Structure 1
Amino acid sequence: MTPVPPLARRNPVAKLGAALLFALPLIATVDPLTPALALAVELTVIPFSGVRPSLLARRAWPLLIAAAGVLISMLLFAADRGGDLLATAGPFDVTTGVLSGAAGLTLRIFAVALPGILVLATTDPTDLADALVQNARLPERFAIGALAAFRLLPLLGQEWQTLSLARRARGLAPGPRLFLTTAFALLVGALRRGVRLAVAMDARGFDAGTPRTHARLQRFTTADGALLIAAVLLSAGILTTTALLGLFRPITG
């Protein structure tokens, strides 16, 4: 039997909490050093999660599009264009200040999103729902509904492809009209499926209000608590390092 990596063995609530505790403080500053240090820590942790690089690349490629959009927006519309002038493109001046702000936001996208990707890639959705109820004490109706929605997410991609091919077969050329009609049809289909799923869950007693048993017991161990503490200490250490180097730039400043 293949051994389970250390991080993959942790309680789903502990992994989710550690991701939030580590990533959210990074939003407090806009300097590029803080997310760069966070990314270095996250890349170091990846081997202990057991997530293959190919799977990570498939899950993280949308971040490249988001980062490219942020980079272009900052280069074109940044209000603060202080620092040394590096290049001029028409009415736009590319300065060291613009590049620093763009780098900070771009790196922050990856630093904040990567922990969540690792958590989802190493957590079974059913275990996550059970842990939210047993360990985080969330309402069962919310946890089970979230589980059902999570299970249906892969269907949206398949339906998008099916709807697009059907409209292409009817002669609708690629363009804004194809995108809008496909998106509207996908939204309508998702709402209908959600209504049917809610009725089916209520018919099976998910809203009965009676105590429910759990087939999978989720235990919160000392190692899970240590993971949360480590996430807090690492995040605080990164922010402290940035402040000591004089590069801390609060987002409210």
Structure 2
Amino acid sequence: MLSTVDTAPSRVNPVAALAAALVIAVGLVLSVDWVSALTALGLELALVVALRIPLRALLSRGAVLVLAAGLTAVTILLYGERSGVVHWEFLLVTISDGSITLAIATFLRVLAIALPSVFLFIGTDPTELADGLGQLVRLPARFVIGALAGLRLVGLLGQDWRYLGYARRARGVADHGRIRRGAGQAFALLVAAIRRGSTLATAMEARGFGAYPTRTWARPASFGWRDTILICAAFVIVAVAITASVGTGHWNFIGSR
């Protein structure tokens, strides 16, 4: 279980991790340049080492992130801003100095913005996050607990998909027509998910969930010095990245485009 991994994020309140990720995302989205993105990315990797994030867990989750950032960069490379020397052109596709620079900046920025959302939540228990959102952020308990219940059911979708595949193969209807089989199986999975959600909603209402505007919490959520340090580290990362970008003359505010 990821919740049993003894890492610094697992000892930090998930609300603090969420706040730190939001601070970095908001700070880095203000400019599209490679200097601030690369600076923030380097500081985030240093934070990964300081928090003792398991390398295997980071790589398994970061691989998808690198793929998504790469695909975004390729799109910008082919259809981005045309400026400077044009290296290749075909119909709507144009690769120029401007599109190359913008693609590199976009790749680094996607990594820098999304990476904290990956490593800060390794080892985080969704129940602890719900406790923090309900007690510290004061979000409505009905919304928080309902979202937590739905999140718990997401993990069952993969198991349901496998069981549906086994059942279809046992009936001999999964031997051909892969596209048609996948569409039918996806519809069956949707129906099963709706039925399970309706059953869960009925069970929660039968137990009095949401009957009163207030509720008690089984586990109190606290905000300690580790949480404060993590949020301050996020502000430092953003401040250093912006300072480096402005100081080198690469600051490119998104509103100016």
With the shorter chain as reference, the TM-score category is 0.7 to 0.9
Structure 1 vs Structure 2 CA RMSD = 2.5
4+ long deviations beyond 6 Å: none
2:175 aligned with 1:202: no
Give runs of aligned pairs for residues 53-72 of structure 1, distance below 5 A. Answer: 53-72=55-74
Q: Secondary structure at the match of 2:250?
A: coil
How many equivalent pairs are there? 249
In 2, Cα distance between equivalents of 1:11 and 1:194: 29
Match of 2:79 in 1: 77
In 2, Cα distance between equivalents of 1:50 and 1:173: 47
In 1, Cα distance between equivalents of 2:168 and 2:72: 32
The alpha-carbon deviation at position 231 of structure 1 amounts to 1.4
The alpha-carbon deviation at position 70 of structure 1 amounts to 1.4
Match of 1:95 in 2: 96
Paired letter, 1:236: A
Q: Secondary structure at the match of 1:120?
A: coil
Match of 2:174 in 1: 170
Q: 1:38-81 CA deviation, whole Å, 9 max, x = no partner? A: 21111111133343222122223322332232133223322x21
In 2, Cα distance between equivalents of 1:110 and 1:188: 36
Return closer, same or farther for 1:219/1:36 CA change in 2, 3 Å cut-off. same
The alpha-carbon deviation at position 239 of structure 1 amounts to 1.2
The alpha-carbon deviation at position 166 of structure 1 amounts to 5.6
Match of 2:38 in 1: 36
Return closer, same or farther for 1:195/1:119 CA change in 2, 3 Å cut-off. farther
The alpha-carbon deviation at position 137 of structure 1 amounts to 1.0
Greater mean alpha carbon deviation, residues 238-247 or residues 161-170: 161-170
CA contact (8 A) 2:77 2:102 kept: no
In 2, Cα distance between equivalents of 1:62 and 1:56: 11
TM-score w.r.t. structure 1 length?
Answer: 0.86
Q: Secondary structure at the match of 2:249?
A: coil
**Structure 1: stretches of 5+ with no match in the other structure:** none
In 2, Cα distance between equivalents of 1:74 and 1:15: 30
In 2, Cα distance between equivalents of 1:110 and 1:191: 35
Question: Sequence identity, in percent?
Answer: 39
Of residues 16, 21, 24 in structure 2, which corresponds to 1:22? 24
Paired letter, 1:64: V
Give runs of aligned pairs for residues 1-253 of structure 1, distance below 5 A. Answer: 4-78=6-80, 80-85=81-86, 87-88=87-88, 90-91=90-91, 92-163=93-164, 170-175=174-179, 177-209=180-212, 211-253=214-256
Return closer, same or farther for 1:165/1:233 CA change in 2, 3 Å cut-off. same
